[in-house]
């Protein structure tokens, strides 16, 4: 590893720690030439899974796009950021475990919905309303029935 300060390839590792649930290694290093310290991060290189959208265009799987959608659905809900990060990691792991090179965007949405249904009912309904493009109250009733059962929906004050 070349030193970012003097650019000499002569350093030693002071400390090594696992990060991001074991999917990354962080190392603290010191350059033997200039004695300055720096840190490096090693991540597993994954073969890119491409998402096939409804218009047949393809784009790389983007975990940040998943995170933004989940954060939006969980807005103002009592869900810690660490829990959201864990769910995003679980979704990413599902995609990479079950698909080699391509996955339909509808399958990614279904995976997200499955995870949100286990996490928080309100977040699930919020995500479903955008993802499934709800047109009216009946769409909400169907989505609520899907997670709570057909005879549970009542409106009272």
Q: Give average pLDDT by consecutive 10-residue segment, the chain, 157 residues.
A: 95 94 91 97 83 96 96 96 95 93 96 95 93 90 81 54
Q: What is the pLDDT of residues 71-92, one digit of tens each?
A: 999 999 999 999 999 999 999 9
What pLDDT does 46 receive?
65
> For residue 141, which phi and psi values (nearest 5 degrees)?
-60, -45
Q: Would you state the torsion angle of the CA atoms of residues 136, 141, 55, 69, taken in this order, to the nearest 10 degrees?
A: 100
């Amino acid at each position: 590893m070349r030193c970012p300060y003097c650019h000499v390839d002569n350093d030693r590792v002071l400390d090594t720690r696992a990060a991001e649930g074991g999917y990354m290694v962080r190392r603290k290093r010191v350059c033997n030439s200039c004695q300055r310290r720096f840190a490096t991060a090693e991540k597993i290189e994954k073969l890119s899974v491409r998402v096939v959208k409804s218009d047949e265009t393809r784009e790389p799987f983007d975990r940040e796009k998943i995170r933004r959608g989940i954060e939006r659905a969980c807005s103002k809900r009592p869900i810690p950021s660490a829990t959201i990060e864990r769910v995003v990691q679980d979704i990413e792991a599902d995609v990479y475990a079950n698909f080699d090179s391509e996955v339909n965007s509808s399958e990614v949405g279904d995976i997200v919905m499955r995870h949100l249904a286990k996490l928080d009912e309100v977040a699930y309904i919020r995500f479903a309303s955008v993802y499934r493009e709800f047109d009216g109250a009946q769409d909400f009733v169907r989505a609520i029935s899907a997670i709570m059962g057909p005879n549970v929906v009542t409106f009272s004050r």
